[in-house]
């Protein structure tokens, strides 16, 4: 979803404007159905370029209708004729509009033409992280080309995976299964005579894990666990109810769903750990593949135990965590500390010495986009009451900010913060290198390729060059 984080910096702004803005944004966000999950997404270069595109049209509300303006100069490029409007992803955006006295939901191109439509708000999902659209149960790529057949209906599961059901010429459901974010069939299931329902629940896994599993549900009566990379059934179908927790950890219940029978961890296509105790299981160290087991009913000193998945053994003592973390797997860099100071390493090589009061990494998506676009690997490091923007590739300081904190975003190249010793706030764009200050009576809202500043009953739009392009 396109990120919008409002920071109210004054109580002097007229009450009506923030309310209008908030309502409009809710409508837009609900309609767009964007999924920005910094997890196991297909964040390839092409998709990121479409998400962060600095030149994509900007939705604006004009006379209670939505249209679009140019991000370069603020000129109207699509007339205000929609009840609501989302941000563009590539060549398309989702809108609501009135037709023959009824509300419809559609996908438009950059000329404002309706390309596809639905009668239902739930009929359109924009899965921008994966370069997909789902419109009335049909899967489309980012060019709005259908990649599923007419006899196949799809439902979004999670993390870029899609469940499907297939019918024969007579309309009888004969097959179901799971597709990946490319529309490729991963797993298929042939319905028995009395079966006609299939769904799947995907385990939300940390990026450091290289495998993902899901629960397959047939007619709410039998369940299995599927490897989403190769479609292998790793836990055979039974009437045991299975729920998916994070990181490929699953709970097995009795068929009536009332009794928890066991908790398991799946790794390398097998049950790597299983317990019948009533405990909570999570990863303690992803790199070393160590689980942490928490038993709330045990004595305080014995509540935590640790299990080594690699060696299939219980550890006698709490292990030391690996220096490798999720961030390192995503960016190649990791932070380290000594004597209250912080630095950055790449593998075993020190990139920034341990001399900074704080280190703040950009989100993995923003980091990767700027790396691809500008060939810069950026980080924010605090030192001497300033935040330094440093390019890790050459260890050079790009600029500095006199602030104690910086806010960055997962789907925007803007950052912002309060200037130390001042009532002003700064906004800086990591892509263009442009910066601008705003006084504390302003409310700043951040989007992928623009910001809005509300003050004294007006809303001003600025592009990535922080050039004023439009005002309401």
pLDDT digits (tens, 9 = 90+) for 227-256: 999 999 999 999 999 999 999 999 999 999
Cα distances (Å, whole numbers) of residue 175 to 32, 149, 222: 30, 13, 16
Residue matched to tokens 């409310």? 443
Nearest CA to 333 out of 318, 355, 352 is that of 352
Alpha-carbon distance of 244 to 241, in angstroms, equals 10
Closest CA to 154 of 108, 107, 186, 128: 186
Least confident of 36-50, 130-144, 183-197, 213-227: 36-50
Q: Residue 318 corresponds to which tokens in the numbers above?
A: 């709490």
> Hey, what's the torsion of the CAs at 190, 193, 197, 203, to 10 degrees?
-40
Supply the pLDDT for residue 326.
64
Q: How confident is the model at residue 129 (pLDDT cuts 50, 70, 90)?
A: confident
Beta bridge partners of 218: 198, 222
Could you give phi then psi for residue 19, rounded to 5 degrees?
-65, -45
- The model's pLDDT over 405-449, given as tens digits with 9 standing for 90+, comes to 999 999 999 999 999 999 999 999 999 999 999 999 999 999 999
pLDDT digit string, tens, across residues 340-396:
999 999 988 999 999 999 999 999 899 999 999 999 999 999 999 899 999 999 999
Q: Are 95 and 85 in contact (CB under 8 A)?
A: yes
The pTM is what? 0.77
Judged by phi (left if over 0) then psi (alpha if -120 to 50, else beta), residue 464 lies in alpha
């Amino acid at each position: 979803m396109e990120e919008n984080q409002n920071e109210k910096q004054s109580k002097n702004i007229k009450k009506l404007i923030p309310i209008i803005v908030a309502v409009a944004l809710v409508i837009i966000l609900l309609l767009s159905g964007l999924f920005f999950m910094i997890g196991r997404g297909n964040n390839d270069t092409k998709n990121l370029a479409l998400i962060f595109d600095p030149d994509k049209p900007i939705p604006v509300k004009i006379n209670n209708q939505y249209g679009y303006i140019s991000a370069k100069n603020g000129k109207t490029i699509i007339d205000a004729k929609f009840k609501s409007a989302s941000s563009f992803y590539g060549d398309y955006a989702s809108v609501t509009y009135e037709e023959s006295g009824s509300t419809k939901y559609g996908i438009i191109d950059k000329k404002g033409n309706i390309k596809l439509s639905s009668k239902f708000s739930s009929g359109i999902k924009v899965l921008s992280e994966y370069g997909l659209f789902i419109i009335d149960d049909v899967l489309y790529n980012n060019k709005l080309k259908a990649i599923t057949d007419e006899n196949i209906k799809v439902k979004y599961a999670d993390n870029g995976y899609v469940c499907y059901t297939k019918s024969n010429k007579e309309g009888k459901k004969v097959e179901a299964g799971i597709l990946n974010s490319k529309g490729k069939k991963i797993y298929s299931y042939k319905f028995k005579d009395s079966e006609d329902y299939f769904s799947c629940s995907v385990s939300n896994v940390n990026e450091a894990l290289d495998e993902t599993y899901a629960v397959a549900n047939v007619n709410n009566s039998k369940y299995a666990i599927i490897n989403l990379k190769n479609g292998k059934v790793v836990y055979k179908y039974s009437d045991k109810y299975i729920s998916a927790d994070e990181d490929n950890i699953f709970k097995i219940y009795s068929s009536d769903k009332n009794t928890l029978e066991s908790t398991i961890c799946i790794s390398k296509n097998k049950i790597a750990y299983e317990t019948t105790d009533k405990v909570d299981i999570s990863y303690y160290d992803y790199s070393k593949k160590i689980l942490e087991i928490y038993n709330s009913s045990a004595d305080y000193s014995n509540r935590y135990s640790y299990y080594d998945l690699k060696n299939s053994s219980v550890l006698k003592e709490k292990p030391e965590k690996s220096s490798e973390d999720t961030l390192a797997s995503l960016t190649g860099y990791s932070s380290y500390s000594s004597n209250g100071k912080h630095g950055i390493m790449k593998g075993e090589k020190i990139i920034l010495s341990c001399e900074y009061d704080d280190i703040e990494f950009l989100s993995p998506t923003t980091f990767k986009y700027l790396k691809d676009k500008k060939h810069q690997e950026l980080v924010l490091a605090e030192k001497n009451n300033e935040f330094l923007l440093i390019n890790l590739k050459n260890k050079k300081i790009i600029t500095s900010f006199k602030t104690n904190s910086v806010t960055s975003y997962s789907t925007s190249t803007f950052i912002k913060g309060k200037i130390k010793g001042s009532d002003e706030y700064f906004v800086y764009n990591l892509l263009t290198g442009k910066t601008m200050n705003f006084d504390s009576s302003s409310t700043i809202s951040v989007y992928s390729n623009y910001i809005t500043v509300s003050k004294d009953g007006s809303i001003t739009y600025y592009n990535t060059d922080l050039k004023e392009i439009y005002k309401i």
